[in-house]
């Protein structure tokens, strides 16, 4: 046995609301050129959370499967003191950090390879409107 609880009591799961962003374009409404992977420049992204709440972002180009990793350093104050119960997340993968990492990485590519970005509706993409303005990328 690993010492992990076999079941999470319901009291711990109540009150956790979903922190999704409002959908701009549903995945089912993407253009056909994105679905058939014929035209390069359409990207899919996701957030990977590792040990000790470390995080990296991934950007995968749909046609070539070329992958770019986004460095998400810990936010200032993360791990320096005791964790505040029910306090704010200080792990480095907030909306601002993700937006800055995507902007810094995707703007190094030529304009032809920056057509669209598909991301899940997680809270880390809450600043998708600002990302669209900064990168001229359809999100």
Contact indicator for 105, 59 with CB cutoff of 8 Å: yes
Q: Is residue 126 part of a domain?
A: yes
Round to whole Å and give the CA distance between 25 and 118.
9
* Between 73 and 40, the higher pLDDT residue: 40
Per-residue pLDDT, 60: 94
Burial (Cβ within 10 Å: 0-12, 13-18, ≥19) of residue 137: buried
Residue range(s) defining the domain that contains residue 46: 20-75+90-135
Q: Is residue 128 part of a domain?
A: yes
Q: Is residue 33 part of a domain?
A: yes
Handedness of CA 47, 2, 15, 77 (dihedral sign): negative
Round to whole Å and give the CA distance between 72 and 103.
12
Domain count of the chain?
A: 1
Contact indicator for 34, 97 with CB cutoff of 8 Å: no
* Between 86 and 6, the higher pLDDT residue: 6
Q: Is residue 81 part of a domain?
A: no
The string of pLDDT tens digits covering residues 45-97 is: 998 888 777 889 999 999 999 999 998 887 776 666 666 666 555 565 778 88
Q: Is residue 4 part of a domain?
A: no
Residue 66 sits in a domain whose CATH number is: 3.30.420
Round to whole Å and give the CA distance between 45 and 31.
17
Quote the mean pLDDT of the chain. Answer: 78
Alpha carbon 23 to its chain centroid, in Å, reads 14
Q: Is residue 84 part of a domain?
A: no
Q: Is residue 94 part of a domain?
A: yes
Round to whole Å and give the CA distance between 29 and 97.
28
Q: Is residue 14 part of a domain?
A: no
């Amino acid at each position: 046995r690993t010492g992990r609880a076999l079941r999470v009591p319901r009291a711990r799961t109540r009150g956790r609301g979903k922190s999704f962003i409002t959908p701009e374009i549903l995945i089912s409404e993407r253009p056909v050129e994105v679905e058939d992977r014929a035209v390069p420049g359409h990207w899919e992204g996701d957030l990977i959370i590792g040990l000790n709440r470390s995080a990296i972002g991934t950007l995968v180009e749909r046609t070539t499967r070329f992958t770019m990793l986004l460095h998400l350093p810990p936010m200032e104050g993360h791990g320096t003191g005791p964790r505040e119960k029910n306090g704010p997340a200080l792990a480095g993968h907030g909306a601002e950090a993700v937006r800055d990492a995507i902007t810094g990485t995707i703007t190094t590519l030529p304009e032809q390879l920056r057509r669209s970005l598909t991301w899940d509706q997680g809270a880390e993409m809450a600043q998708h409107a600002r990302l669209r303005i900064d990168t001229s990328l359809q999100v």
